[in-house]
Amino acid sequence: MKIRRREFIETAALIGGSVLLGSSLLGCAGQQPQKTPTPAPEKKTPAPEKPIKIGYLGPLSGPFTPWGDGHLKGAQMAVDEINSKGGVMGRKLELIVRDTKNNASESATVFEELVFQEGVVAVIGPVSSDVGLATSRKAEELQVPLLLHMAGSDKILTKSSRYTFRTALVAGPLLMQALAEYIKEKGYTRIGAIIADYAWGHSIKGGIEKYISTLSGVEVQMEIAPVKESDFTPYLRKIQDLNPELVIATGHPPGTAKIARQGTELGFKAKYIGPNIPKKAWEKILGEDVTKGMLDFTPVNYNSPEFQEFAQRFYNKYKEEVDFAGTTGYVNINHLAWAIEQTNSDEPKDIANKIRGGSYSTPYFAYPLSYTQWGDQKEAREVIITFKPGPPPYGPESISHAEIEFISPPIKPAEPEQ
């Protein structure tokens, strides 16, 4: 049976929608096959790279707020500067901010939220040993790097720790190792101490017993006070007969400046040393008396020209003086950015391995950041500063400025018991 050409085309159209007709069929009519034009591809705008998220988990309320506020500002400044230069691996950094509220169990829960809900690759910021203990356990469980700001209990790190790292503050006992060197240099023989009744305080107490009470010819008297104590007069009266040359208030961070104020009012002629508290916290309670023998620990290299330039930028941005907390926040972000760039990876495990296996030098600290296998600092030194009258050279009006009085020899980290 013959099939007409029109019937063939219609049948083919019904079957396949279109048929390419060969020249044998169309040649008699002198027609050429018609090609369906190929549509031009749509131009699509490439999707922007997702930001690299870093969690900030610090005290933005409660007794440790001065530490958290400064640390956050330094961290945000670093993020802004890095992003203005193109970010890391061509991607922007994003800081996801949460408040610990100085609550250990709640902080552990928020750490999980930062990891699972926000997708952070690392977390910075915890202050207080109790919070540090809780969040470090989560960091190890979830295998996400945690850079401790101010959490110095010697119980935080264990032999199996691989994701928790100390930054601004060494373990409490090691802080007392550095202070023992200062006491020997100054020839002090009478030392008093007020200790807070929590993990950090007891860590300092252990360090005093190990490194200072054992110094030849040195007499030490310690008193234990609640963390929330504000009236330290009864505790100071107990050490008044000792007539201390130095009062260690390092073991009671929230009460440090009050201890110094109340001791001065009782007629003590001693110097007082704190636990890396912000200078504005000293000045708020002591006023101009901050220049009368107050001392503090810090990791900051105040003599570095790079620090002076950074401090000026910080003042220009926030209209306030930078201290160790702001400096540490700035260093923490730059340290993480360095680890990400060095590994060309934002995988938490890669970041942690680089931090633990590398050495990050910064002109803002008095030592490079390098680590033992369990996350303790290998090359840390402690800088002891005193406060002199007059503002610092970088901008802000202030009644005092920090000057370096002593830099310790390298501090040998202790291996965890477990």
Same domain, 162 and 99: yes
- C-alpha dist (Å) from residue 156 to 173, 357, 416: 13, 20, 9
Burial of residue 16 (CB within 10 Å: 0-12, 13-18, 19+) is exposed
pTM, to two decimals:
0.84
413 lies in a domain? no
Q: Are 129 and 61 members of one domain?
A: yes
395 occurs within a structural domain: no
Residue 208 lies in a domain: yes
Q: 318-336, pLDDT tens digit by residue?
A: 999 999 999 999 999 999 9
CATH number for the domain harbouring residue 269: 3.40.50.2300
In a domain? residue 355: yes
Say if residues 320 and 295 touch (Cβ distance below 8 Å): no
Q: Note whether 100 and 106 are within 8 A (CB).
A: yes
Position 103 in a domain? yes
Phi/psi zone of residue 9: left (φ > 0), alpha (ψ -120 to 50 degrees), beta? alpha
Amino acid 22: pLDDT: 39
Tell whether 177 and 255 lie within a shared domain: yes
| Integer Cα distance of 333 and 330 in angstroms | 6
pLDDT at 40: 56
- Tell me, yes or no, whether 3 lies in a domain: no
**pLDDT at residue number 24:** 39
Pairwise CA distance, residues 101 & 125, whole Å: 12
Which among 258, 275, 292 is the end of a domain?
275
Say how many C-beta atoms besides its own lie within 10 A of residue 125's C-beta. Answer: 34
Number of domains in the chain: 2
- Residues 307, 373, single domain; the answer is yes
Domain that holds residue 118: 52-169+301-377
Establish how many alpha carbons lie within 13 A of residue 216's alpha carbon, considering only the half-sphere containing its beta carbon: 1
State whether residue 219 is helix, strand or coil.
strand
Tell whether 10 is covered by a domain: no
Q: Do 152 and 75 share a structural domain? A: yes
What pLDDT score does 16 carry?
Answer: 42
Give the model's pLDDT for residue 38: 59
Helix, strand, or coil here: 291?
A: helix
d(CA 382, CA 171): 11
- In order along its 418 residues, the chain shows pLDDT tens digits of 333 333 433 444 433 443 333 333 334 344 444 555 555 555 555 556 899 999 999 999 988 898 999 999 999 999 999 999 999 999 999 999 999 999 999 999 999 999 999 999 999 999 998 999 999 999 999 999 999 999 988 899 999 999 999 999 999 999 999 999 999 999 999 999 999 998 889 999 999 999 999 999 999 999 999 999 999 999 999 999 999 999 999 999 989 999 999 999 999 999 999 999 889 889 999 999 999 999 999 999 999 999 999 999 999 999 999 999 999 999 999 999 999 999 999 999 999 999 999 999 999 999 999 999 999 999 999 999 999 999 998 878 899 999 999 999 999 888 898 8
155 and 177 part of one domain: no
Both 241 and 100 in a single domain? no
Residue 35 lies in a domain: no
Pick from 110, 95, 62: nearest CA to 330: 95
